[in-house]
Each structure stands twice: as structure tokens, then as C-alpha cells.
Amino acid sequence: MQFHTSACSALITCLGLTLVAPVFSDDGRGSQVVQRGGFSLAACGGDRLFHDRFEIAGQLPDPTQFPAYQQLRRDVLINADLWDTELKILSAGFGFEGIQGVPGLTGANLQAAIDAGAGVNLDWAQLNPMPPLRNITSAGSVLGIAFAGFGSYVCLADAMPIVFSWPVLPSSVSPEAVAITLNTGAVVTPVAAALNPNYDYNERHVIVVFGEFGNRIPPGQPGSVHPVQVDIVAAKIEPKAVGPEGPVSMVGLSSPSSNPYEAGPALVGAKLTRFSPVGDFPPPALANSFPNDAYSHFGEDAQYRLRLFTSGGFSPDGVSGLLPDDFPRFFRLHALDAEGEPVLIDEEGVTYDLGDGSLTVLGLAEVGEPVDEPADRAYYVEDHDNYFDIVLKGDESAMARLTHVEIPTSAVPGYFDIYNPGGPGRTPDPDTIYTEPSAPQMQVIDVSLDDLRTVSFAEQDLDAYDLDDDMPVVFRLRSADGPDRFTSSSITARLWIDQEGLDYAGIDFPNEMLRPAVSEVRVFVRTDGSDRIYTLDAAEQAALSGPDSGWADGGPAFGAFATEQLGSVPVYRFFDPATERHLFTPDLSDGAAMNLVGVAWFAARLRPGH
């Protein structure tokens, strides 16, 4: 069937608006896509970016004003991996077709997902309580896509993750900077782009774009339409990535495009380092799977991190996510022992002796939050991004003997297939074509135990930041006759400038979101206002909070680390006897004429050149 007016009405109804004048396209694009169910592109008036095709009674909320969109565009990177010495596209495969921005999609209307050709877990939909919608279908609703930070309302859109070796400068992400060449010779521009779901501040290497890129007919068959090449091109906002020397242009990067209806997602990198929690947190609007870092899952046992970088989302069925104990179901590691003999590492919690040291796989991190009991896949909220951490403990000498990570797939008894989000789900429709599972693969492990090879960066211009009380950075404000002040609120920073005449002095370090391993730094103000102490030491906080201390508790200021972490630097505490004021700075030279009290906290360095 063709789905026209009723689908458009359902779309507008779900937005709480009234459809005045639908504009339909009769160009036949929707009817070419016969592998989906009942929906066609005509359901959206022939346009993936539906709000350009309708006159609406009332005003659509501006999707560029949603919190996720604003937060994703802040130019902040914290301890993000450099996957290569050069900036390049690591993969740019066609993701899946036609299931992003599905009109009328709700937990009570899963038929909309089925009709769009999305994978579904209808058996889980019968559970009480009902699992999250994302665990029941990989389809995205119209509002869900907008709320997720894509800056547009899209309808029945295709998806493509474009994976880079260096992290992307967030404010430079735009669909206009991506040119996708199809096998027909046509060059198309996406209608939406965002860093979601790869949004943690130590991630941000993947731009996901939505638009009309092809159909589900495999390449080589009559009627197949699919991407063959992806280019990064000049746009109004120059696309940039951040490398060791700061932001650089991405214009001119190019990559062939693979097809998910031939082969599923693949590994594009595997980097083994000592574990660091620095920067491993999301924007507040996207914190539904937080915390999920290795320390949150495994505590002090989390010594090493083998970060897997993928060409697309990994799922056991195309819908649900991976669990913290899924290592033995989907992965195994290869090593050479001290005698040069191969060792297969395929179990969690087992110590493997490699001759001159041993190691143990603890499990997976970068999935979802820790759980006390074994996770129930039906309810477990995974982040569905392009990163997974295999977490290990043991001897450095043993870690250095790891050579490859393998995805065996169901070709090996006891292992299971991996799909991208275009896969079939647990209850597939027999008449729908879904994306293929991954092929068996081996990825060389890049052992980098002596160097994290990461980059941190923050835009220093206060005016570049939107107004918010919970920024991922800490602003320094300076007074001619008082102590420096710190705040993670751009609103407070501007008030101090406008109302109290303070001078803006830049950003030295981030505001780490509170989680295991991160401590709350509180500010205490001398009762006469002449000095400020910032401290995360619980004993000092208690002493300064006393009724006769002479200090007033100013509340939480930001989050930082009490102990040194890889990717962090010490922030020193000085006291100036001449002014009787404290100074907090990562630069020892700043306090050369003062008394060094000690290290106040540890944090990533965000100043240019550091």
C-alpha cells in the first residue's frame, strides 16, 4: 500500500499541530523503495526534511533550540583519541534505509516501525513493564530525532555514520559539508547531521547524517540505488577536526562507501591503553546511559582499556544493545606468550598466564550503566554508539603481548552475530529486507601503553557558549582587587562581568560530570569576601563549613579528580601572604612569588598549546 495523507496527519498530530496544506510529490521516489513495508517517502510529502513541505497552523518548535542540539555544538573535546597520525575518513558506509523519523511511532503503535521496515522486538513489547522504546525497535520517531540534537525534523530518512580518525570540532558539523555520490551518478546532500550517539567528550569522531541515500536492493541487482563515495566539501561552516596542533579543515577528505545489505558493521580500530576516566561523560541532555566508563563498572580493577572503534552501531539483533558481560558472546582476543605460542583469550574473569605476566578480561564498558544483578537485555539502556571498551587488569608485560581482537560471529559455535541498527530484531517481518550481520573479522590491536595519544580542546571565547548553568568547562574570572573566581555556568560568568566588573580570563580545565572517580569541588568564600578557597577535600570542606570558620560555603563549583589520571594535569594551590588570597592554576610559574600549598585537584588541560 501507499501511505500518504494519513501518515502526514499522524505526523502533525504527534507534534500537536494542525495540517493546513499538504504538498505531495509525485516524482515516484517513494514507490521505488519497495523493500520497506507500507510507508513510502510520499508519506512525508516527498521530502526527507518534512517541515519544508508543509504549511503549519502554529509554530513548530525550532529544533536548533532543543538542549541536545545546543549542547552537542559546544566546542569541547576532553581526552579524545587520535586513531591515526593523519586525519582521514576511516569508514563511510551506508547505514540503513528509511527508518529515522517514522510518523506516528510510539510504544503503542509499533506497526509504524514495521511498516517503515525497522527491526522490532514484539515479544518484549508484551512485557510488563514495557521496556524502553529503543529496546523494542531501532526506528526513530520524528520528535525523537529532533530532540536527539539533529537540528531538523526528518521523515523516513536513511542514515550514514561517517567515521574520522580525529575528533570533529562540534560547531562545524553541518549536513551541507557532506556530498554523497550514488551509483546513479547523482550527488546528494544530507538534510541533518549530528555527533549523536557518539557524544561523550572523549569520543566525537563520528558524524551521523540523515537523508535519502538509496534503497535496500543489494548492489549489482537491477534497481539498486546506493552510495559509492562520500566527500567532505566546503560549506558555510567550514568542517574541521581537532588534531595535535588544534583545529584543521576536513575539506577534501574522501572515502568509498560500503553497503549494509551486503555486509554488516566492522571494526575500524582497536587501541590498547592504560585506562583513564578523563572526559568520559556526555552532555546533560544525553545522559540516559551514564555513567558507563570502565571505572564505574569495575572500580580500581579497571587498569587497561582496549577501545574498539566501529563503522556503525553494534547490536545482537539490530535493535537491542550489548551488555557488560557480553565479551564471551561476541569477541575474543589473541596474544603471543613469552615462548611465541598463540594464546586465545575468550572468557571473562579467567586469568591467562602469558609466561612473563598475566591478564584478565573484566568485561565490557561504554555500554550502559552498571547494574547490581546480571543485566536484562530487554531493559538494559545501552548508548548504541561506535565505541566499546574491553576492560582488563593484569601485568603490563602481558598486555603488550595482545595482538588481535576477533569477532568470530555465529560461524564459530558459541558465538553470535552482530548487526547495525538496520538489522531484523527478534521478531522480523518475513517480507522485509534488513541489513546483513557482520562478517568474521580480525583487527590488529594498536598497543599504546606509554602514550594515550589523545587530544583535549575548548573554545576559549566566552561569547561562543550558549547560556547554561551546567557547562562542561570551567570559566575563570579575574578581579583587580580580589581572588579569581571559577564557575561552570556561562550565565554566572556573564553576570560577574556585567554586574561586578570582573574580567574574563579563559578556560583552563573541564567540569567533569560527577560519577565514580570524580569529586565535587566546592567553593568557600571568606566572610568579608576577600578570598575564595576551592577544595574537594572532604575534611577541609567540613572544617570550612564550621560556624566559626570565617568562611561561607558557596556550594558546588565543578567536578574534578582527587588523584592523578592519565590525560590530566595537576592544578596547584598557592597562597599569597601579601594579599592573603589563594590562587589556583595549572601553571607553576603563575605562583612563583607565592607559597605553594599543594595540588588542589587534577583535570585535563584545555588551554591552546597544552
For the segment 403-437, what is each residue's pLDDT rounded down to a tens digit?
Answer: 999 999 999 999 999 999 999 999 999 999 999 99
**Residue 129 pLDDT greater than 80, yes or no:** yes
Mean pLDDT, to the nearest integer, of 13-22?
A: 32
Q: Give the integer Cα–Cα distance in Å for 455 and 87.
A: 13
Q: Give the integer Cα–Cα distance in Å for 484 and 505.
A: 9
Those residues whose C-beta lies under 8 Å from the C-beta of residue 509, and which sit 6 or more positions away, are: 473, 474, 560, 571, 586, 603, 604, 605, 606
Q: Give the integer Cα–Cα distance in Å for 63 and 153.
A: 7
User: Is beta strand 351-353 parallel, antiparallel or unpaired with respect to 446-447?
Assistant: unpaired
For residue 387, the one-letter residue type is: Y
User: Are 399 and 359 contacting, i.e. CB atoms less than 8 angstroms apart?
Assistant: yes
For the segment 473-506, what is each residue's pLDDT rounded down to a tens digit?
Answer: 999 999 999 999 999 999 999 999 999 999 999 9
Q: Quick one: what percent of the chain has pLDDT higher than 90? A: 89
User: Is beta strand 351-353 parallel, antiparallel or unpaired with respect to 254-256?
Assistant: unpaired
For the segment 202-258, what is each residue's pLDDT rounded down to a tens digit?
Answer: 999 999 999 999 999 999 999 999 999 999 999 999 999 999 999 999 999 999 999
Angle, CA 284 vertex, CA 279 and CA 287 arms, to 5°: 80
**Residue 29 pLDDT greater than 90, yes or no:** no
Residue 76: what are its φ and ψ, rounded to 5°?
-135, 125
- Arithmetic mean of pLDDT over the chain: 91
**Residue 2 pLDDT greater than 70, yes or no:** no
Q: Give the integer Cα–Cα distance in Å for 153 and 64.
A: 10
Separation in Å, CA 482 to CA 32, 284, 486? 69, 32, 13
